[in-house]
Structures are given as structure tokens and as C-alpha cells.
Structure 1
Amino acid sequence: MDKIPVIALFDIGKTNKKIFLFDEHYRIVFEKSECFDEVKDEDGFPCEDINKLKDFIIGGLEELLKKRKFQVRAVNISSYGASLVYIDKEGQPIAPLYNYLKPYPKALEESLYQSYGGAEKMALKTASPASGSLNSGLQLYRIKKEQPELFKRIHYALHLPQYLSSLITGKYYSDITSLGCHTQLWDLGKQDYHQWVIDEGLDKKLAPIFASDEALPASENKFQVASGIGLHDSSAALIPYLANFSEPFILISTGTWCISLNPFNDEPLTEDEVRHNCLCYISYKGTPVKASRLFAGYEHEQQATRIAEYFKVEMSILRNAEYDRTLINQLNSSGLLNANSFAELSLDKFDSAIHAYHALLMFIVSEQFTSTSIILQKGITKKIFVDGGFGKNSIYMNLLAAVFPEIEVYAASMAQATALGTALAIHESWNDRQLPNDIIDLKYYSAPFYAISMKTSQIH
């Protein structure tokens, strides 16, 4: 029996660590998922267990290569961003995988910005709003200032996808999707490291850049399989859409963060956009992708949990709730939406969990409207695609269609968008077939014919 040619993908999220095999038609033929407990760094702050992650990658690939049913032709990795692994000359991690949510010393941040014209000027140059530890360049800068002996020992600071790839290839590279994603390392204007990175000598701790859409050949890798060098997960999730649609669109990738990505908006960031948490990602082809981000998935989980506990219902009741136009009209005329946030509202103001949940989604979509509108190009953007958890939420999708009545709004679903995009990035390195054009399922949501008013938008 002939083996099935496949590509192996490791999709490393904050919570779930996944392995997939895709066949030549990009259908999933194998999947596995694990969760790890966090450990703590030297300050007692929770962080990823890098040793467990290392075992997951190496052990997982070894297991896949032993499967008689499959011929693993290539492998690639995606993971969350803003996370650096510090290795010595032998490739061994010499520090914790610090959490990007760890508080950053204000004085250290301010001293850096004062030397380079202020936080806004730095943000404009690097297309990265000042975000403390979420700017991974500042994590490396902090080590230089606070742990100089550790800094001296660092051979390379690798973004997480590239470190995980190095476990397979034995080679050390940087990737533009990771360097260019809210790191404050990359100057988009000159397409090189920002001057502060060079002045501080951080560039010497960063590995050479390798093309994101190429793979190292099997003959050069420890596991004798072609391997990409890894991608930032949000950039990877965009790839299937770029492969299938040429008309201008925005992708709202929803999860803990709801990130609106516009690969057709190449205008430089403005000060106002930076102030509204707008930034630029860099695509796997090296082009800027204007984006805005909203911490809406986190807020949804916090407030939905509050609703479920108060009304003593299962969370699944809320997640599966159908859109109710009558409740929307009631809420519009109730005055409750005048609050600054849903968190301010006492739940005794609602008749039921579903009533409260509709209100929560109205607040979230109101904020989403503001966030997405920053990067939307009126008269140019034709479609909005929503993937991830909110794409399955009937209330969210109907409200989104209501606040963007002149744009086609779709819930988009596919088999594991991030892993799929990571595979498509190195398609030519392992797959002789044409790229498939049927990998995305779309569900259209039409704008309602009735008036809807929300806190930050008035649509009539």
C-alpha cells in the first residue's frame, strides 16, 4: 500500500498545542492536541514550560515519521508572537520563556523612548504601539539592562516559531512575520532593524533572516525532512484568504484578541491610528498588513462567565444562543447601552441570561466597529471575513453585518486556518498540485432592514 504524502504542522497556542497532518489536497488526515501546565520564572510570574514544549515538538515529529500510513514530506510551525527563546551556542535555552503579559518596568521603557524621540515616534517607525512586554524587542532590551551576564551568554534570541523550527533543522534563523509583528524591532520604512536595535547591539543577538515561504531541504535537516522556519500565527491565518481572494477584504481573526487585518491598506500608520492600538503585521511575502486589535475575546469570556454564574446557566447556553431581533430593539431603547462598558452594568437589570448576553455582544460589536473602522477603506473594502470563535456566534455576526451595511460580511470557516496557512506558505517545497480554491466555507450575513443604534455607531 502506497503511503499518503503529507505535510506536518505544529500549531502552538497559549493554551492548546496541536499537531496536524494535511494531505496534498489540504485535508486533515491526522490531528492531536495537548495542554501544558505553566511554570514560573525567577520572579514567580507564570510562563510557558519550554522543556515540555521542546519534548512535544521532537517527540511529536518522531511519532509522525514512524507512521507507516504517511510519508511526511515537509514540516512547518506556527505559534503565538511576542515571545523569545534565549539560547547559547549549543542551542540550549538559558532563560525562561518569559510571558508577554508580564508587567514591564515603566522607567526602563520611558528611558528608551526618550532617547529616540518618544513613544509615538518609535511606534510610527516600527508600526508597533508601545505595549511593554508585548513588544518582544523590549524584552531583550530588559535582559541587557537588568541581567547583563545573561545577555552576554545569549548566542541568539529566537522568536518562538523559529526556536521550535531549530529543534527540527538544527539551524538558527529569524523570520520577517515574527520580527515585524509588534516587536518594535523592525523599521518598516527602511526595511531593516530600527536604529535603536543597532545602537544597543541587539541585532547581533538576532539570527540571520530566512525567507518565510521557503523550506530548508531535507538533506540539510536533522530529521531528513524539508522544513520551513516557522511563522507568526496571525500572519499564517491570513495566507489561505490571500490565496483564495483578490478583491479587497478585511479578515477579523477572533480569539483572545480580535485582530482586524487589511492586506490591501498600504498607507503608512498615522499618529491617530497608533493611539487607537493600530499596528502593522508583515505578511509571509514581506509586505505590510495594516491591523487593529481588540482584547474582545478575553472580555467576552470574563463577562459571559459572570452572566452564566449569576443566572445559573451553562456557558454553552450562551455560546449557542440565536440572534433575537426583539431583544436588540429592547436594548436599543432601554438606555443600558449608555454605560461605558458592559462590566459596569448590574446583571439584575436583565430579565434573563440571554437578554444580558445580547447586551454584552452589543458592547463588543460596538467596540469591534470602532477597531475595524480604523483600517477599513471606505469604497474599497468589499468584504469582511470573520474566523475563529466569534465567526460561530450568531449574535455577533448579525450585529457585525448591521454596523457594516455597505460591506459583505461572512463567517468563514476552514480546517484549522493557522495550520493551513503555515502549510500553504511552503506549498511549492512539498506539493506538486495546484493550490486548492475550495478550502474556505463562507456563510453570508445580510444587514438588517431595520434601524439599529449602538454606543459608537448609528446605522439607519
Structure 2
Amino acid sequence: MSQIPVIAIFDVGKTNKKLFLFDEQYRIILERTARFTETTDEDGDPCENLESLRLSVFDSLREVFRRKDVAIKAINFSTYGASLVYIDEEGRPLTPLYNYLKAYPEALSEQFYNTYGGKTAFSVQTASPVLGSLNSGMQLYRLKYERPEVFAKVKYALHLPQYMSYLVTGQACSDITSIGCHTNFWDFQQNNYHTWVTKEGVLEKLAPLLISSEVLPATFPGSDYAVGVGLHDSSAALIPYLVNFHEPFVLISTGTWCISLNPFNDTPLTNEELEADCLCYMTFQGKPVKASRLFAGYEHEQQVKRIAAHFNQQPARYRSVEYDSRIVRSLQERNAGETYRAPDKTQLQTSVFGQRDLGAFSSDVEAYHQLMIDIANQQYIATKRVLDGAAVKRIFVDGGFSKNAIYMNLLAGLFPDIEIFAASMAQATAMGAALAIHNAWNSKPLPNDLIELKYYSVTHDAAI
């Protein structure tokens, strides 16, 4: 029996840890999902169980290498960002994998920003709002000042994707998609590490920076497969779109957070945009991606529970409510005097709907349409922030809201001069990690049918 050439991708989210095997046409041959029980750090805060993650990589690889029907040609990794693994000279982790939601000491934050030009100027340089531990460079700064004895033992601070690559290659490296994403490490104006990285003695703790398409040899004797350096998941999810579409577009990636990503907008972030939680990601090619965020998925979930409770319905009912243009017109006429102002930090978390009286609606379906109008209007303002500076012709929506007919039709109405598409693709993040090193393992040309699109016009939708 001839073996199918495949690439193995480890896709590590906060909740689910997945292993995929893709063939040369990027069809999924195998999908495995695991969940690990969290552990705690020395302060009792929850964090990833790094040892369980490490063991699962080797157990999974042993399993797939035993298979007779596939031939592993390459391995790559995509994981959530803002998480650092500190390894010593022997490659052993020195600390737990601290959670990026861990509270950051205010005094230490003030010390840092006062030393390096103030929050506003620094945020403009690094293209990121002040986010505490979510700025992963601040975690390393904290280690230096709170635990200097551990900091002194650190050979390298590796972002999680690069640590997973290190487990298989034994080579420590850094990757621009991790270093360039709200870390405080990267100066977007200078296109280099920020000066604080050198002044604080942090640069020597960062492994050599490799490009995302580079591959390394595995450490196991006799192995002939290539190993990628790993990618930050948000940047990995953008790769299939960059591969398939070359005209300027915006991707709205929807989930708990709804993130509008514009890889064709290289205008510098303004103070106002930073105040509204805009930031820059980095593509696997090292180019800035202007992005804005909304907590709309979470807000939708909370408000659906409120609607369901008020009208004595099951929340699951709202997964498939059909778009009713008459209800939308009626609600828009009723609320004609309302104005939607640009979201500030608090409005990023909640919508106008939270203040609405549910007793004013004749039915739960009408109330749900109003919720989606409020979310879509908020989305319009957030997405507009990244549209300026590039002649975008298409907006792609993937994730949960791409399946919501009300959301998609409203978005088409709000952006009448831009083509709006619901995009569906199996496992965009994992596929992006595979595509990043395509030339290192795949003898076939890049496929041009990775993404299914459904077009929404201003008045109706039609599948294409």
C-alpha cells in the first residue's frame, strides 16, 4: 500500500488542543482533539499544564509515525499568543506557563511606561494598547524585576509556538508573527526590536528571529521531515486568505472576539485608534496587519440568554432565526433618532442592547433582530477603523457570525459599496500553519479552492 504524503499540524488553543494531518490537497486525513486540566502558578493563578502539553506532542507523534497509510513530510505548530516559556541552558522550563490574563502589577507597569516615554507614545511605537500581561514582553520585564534569580538563568524566552517547535528540533528561534503581535517587543516605526529590549538586557534572552516559511531538521535520528518554526494563531488564520485573494480585502474573524484584520492597510495607528483598542498583528511575511476588536461574540451570548429568559424560550432557538427585512425596517424607523458613537473601551465589551427594555418588543424574534442591529452597527464602526487607507473591495466574515443570516444581511446593508461574503473553511488556523511551509513539503501547486464563499447583497443573498 502506497503511503499518502501528509503534514502534521499541532493547533493549540486555550481550550482545545488539536492534531491534524493534511494531505497535499489540504484535505483533513486525521483530526484529534484533547483537553488538559489547568494547573496553577506560584501565586495560585490558573495556567496551562506545560508538561501535559509537552508529553502530548511526543505521544501524538509516536502514534502517527506508527501509521502505515501516511508518510509524515513536515510538522508545524499554531498556538494562542502572548505566552512565554522560559528555558534554561538545558532546554528545561524554569517557570509555569503564565496565563496572559494574569493581573499585572500597576506599580511595575507605571515604572516601565514612565521610563520609556509614556503609555501614549510607547503604544504608537509598538502598535498595541496597554494590555498588561497580554503584552507578553511585559511578562519578561516582570520576571526580571520580581524574580531576578530566575531571569538570570533564562537562556531563551520562547513564545509558545516556538517552544513547541523547539521540542522537536532542539533549535530555539523567534518568529515575527509572535514577536510582532501586541508584545511590546517590536517597534513598528523602526521595524526592529524596541530600544527597551536592548537596554533591559532582554534581547539576549530572545532567540534568533527566523522567517515563518523557514523549516528546521528534526532531532530524531533517521528522520527526514521538515519542522516549521510555529506561528501565532491569528496570523496563521489569515494565511489561506492571503494565498487565495490578492485584491485588497478585510477579514472579520468572529468568535468570542470579533477581529477585523486589514493586511493592506499600513497607515500608522493613531492615538484615537489605540484608545479604541486597535492594534497591529504581523503577517507571516512580516507585514503589519491593522486590526480592531469587539467583544461581540461574548455580548451576543449574554444577551441571547436575556432574551430567552424574558420570552421563556431556549437559547438554542436563536441559532437559526431567519432574516426578516420588514422587522428590520420597522425597528430602524422606530429608532431613527438614535446615533451610534464610536466604541470606547467600555463599549467594546457591551452593546446598546444591554440597556434596552425587552418589554418594548412584541416578540423574541423582534428583540433578537434588534440585538443583531445593535451588534452590526457596532461592528460597522469597528471595521471602518481599519478600512481607511486601503481601497478594500471585499469583506470576508468567518467564524460564528458568518452563519448568522441577520448579521450578514445587515453588514451588506451597512457596506453597500463593498462585496460582503460569508467564508467557510475547515480549520483555518491549522491550514494556515501548513500553507506557511508549503514549499518545504508539498510538491503540488497551492490550491485555489480552499475557501467556500456565500455572497450577501444589500437586498438578498445568493450562494456562489
> Are 1:422 and 2:433 counterparts?
yes
- Residues in 2 aligned to 1:219 and 1:63: alpha-carbon distance in whole angstroms: 18
- Give, in whole Å, the separation in 1 of the partners of 2:235 and 2:227: 18
Tell me what 1:323 maps to: 323
Q: Which runs of 5+ in 1 are unaligned?
A: 450-460
Cα distance change, pair 68–364 in 1 and its aligned pair in 2 (3 A): same
Aligned CA distance change for structure 1 residues 59 and 307 (closer, same or farther; 3 Å): farther
Matched, 1:447 2:458: yes
Count of residue pairs the alignment pairs up: 449
Secondary structure of 1:101's aligned partner: coil
**What is the aligned-residue identity percentage?**
56
Give the C-alpha shift of residue 377 in structure 1.
3.2
Per the TM alignment, residue 126 of structure 1 is displaced from its structure 2 partner at its CA by 0.9
For residues 130 and 390 of structure 2, what CA distance do their matches in structure 1 show?
Answer: 31
Matched AA of 1:436: P
Q: Does 1:237 align with 2:248?
A: no
Residue of structure 2 equivalent to 1:454:
none
Measured after TM superposition, the shift of residue 113 of structure 1 is 0.9
Cα distance in structure 2, aligned partners of 1:7 and 1:110? 46
Q: Which runs of 4+ in 1 moved over 6 A?
A: 219-222, 336-340
Task: Tell whether the 8 Å contact from 2:168 to 2:218 is kept in structure 1 after alignment.
Answer: no
Which residue of structure 2 lines up, in the alignment, with residue 350 of structure 1?
A: 361
**Match of 1:409, SS?**
strand
Determine the structure 2 residue equivalent to 1:85: 85
Whole-angstrom CA distance in 2 between matches of 1:223 and 1:347: 63
Distance in 2 (alpha carbons) for counterparts of 1:440 and 1:119: 40
Q: Hey, what does 2:408 align to over in structure 1?
A: 397
Question: What is the letter of the counterpart of residue 364 of structure 2?
Answer: A
AA aligned opposite 2:329: N
**Partner residue, 2:393:** 382
Whether 2:210 is the aligned partner of 1:199: answer no
Cα distance 1:91–1:313, how it changes in 2: closer, same or farther (>3 A)?
farther
In structure 1, distance between residues paired with 2:13 and 2:368: 27
Moved more, 73-82 or 107-116: 107-116
Q: 1:256 maps to what in 2?
A: 256
Aligned-partner residue type, residue 27 of structure 1: R
Q: Give CA deviations for 1:146-200 in whole Å, capped at 9, x if unaligned.
A: 2222222222111111111111112111100000001111012222210111111
Decide which moves more: 374-383 or 395-404: 374-383
Q: Normalization by structure 1: what TM-score?
A: 0.92
Letter in 1 for 2:64: L
Aligned counterpart, 2:122: 122
Deviation at 1:315, TM superposition (A): 3.1
Q: Matches of 2:48 and 2:235 in 1, distance apart?
A: 22
Asked if 1:173 is matched to 2:167, the reply is no
Aligned in 2, Cα 1:416/1:223: closer, same or farther, shift over 3 Å?
Answer: same
More divergent stretch after superposition (337-346 vs 28-37): 337-346
Task: Give 1:257 deviation, angstroms.
Answer: 1.7
Aligned to 2:246: 246
Whether the 8 Å contact between 2:73 and 2:224 is mirrored in structure 1 is no
Cα drift, residue 301 of structure 1 = 2.4
Are the equivalent residues in 1 in contact too, given 2:264–2:390 (CA < 8 A)? no
1:224: Cα distance to partner?
4.8
Superposition deviation, residue 220 in structure 1: 7.6
Q: CA RMSD in A?
A: 2.1
Quickly say closer, same or farther: Cα 1:306–1:46, change in 2 above 3 A. farther
Change (3 A) 1:12 1:143: same
Specify the SS of the correspondent of 1:246.
Answer: coil
Residue 410 of structure 1 pairs with residue 416 of structure 2? no
Inter-partner Cα distance in structure 2 for 1:360 and 1:100? 31
CA 3–156 in structure 1, closer or farther in 2 if over 3 Å, else same: same
Alignment of 1:26-425 (within 5 A): 26-218=26-218, 224-335=224-335, 341-377=352-388, 380-425=391-436
8 Å CA contact retained: 2:48, 2:97: yes
Contact residue 259 and residue 292 of structure 1 kept, 8 A: yes
Cα displacement string for residues 388-412 of structure 1 (whole angstroms, at most 9, x for unaligned residues):
1111111111111111111000001
What is the CA–CA distance in structure 2 between the aligned matches of 1:164 and 1:284, rounded to whole Å?
Answer: 18
- 8 Å Cα contact 1:260-1:293 kept in structure 2: yes
Between the aligned partners of 1:260 and 1:55, the Cα distance in structure 2 is 35
Structure 1 CA distance for aligned equivalents of residues 421 and 297 of structure 2: 19
SS in 2 for 1:375: helix
What TM-score comes out, normalization by structure 2 length? 0.92
Shift of 1:130: 1.0
Structure 1 residues 215 and 195: CA distance shift in structure 2, 3 A: same
Greater CA drift, 204-213 or 354-363: 354-363
Stretch of structure 1 that moved more, 399-408 or 29-38: 29-38
Distance in structure 2 (CA, Å) of the matches to 1:434 and 1:154? 42
Contact 1:261 1:291 (8 Å CA) reproduced: yes
1:170–1:313 CA distance, 2 compared to 1 (3 A): farther
Q: 2: CA distance between counterparts of 1:426 and 1:177? A: 14
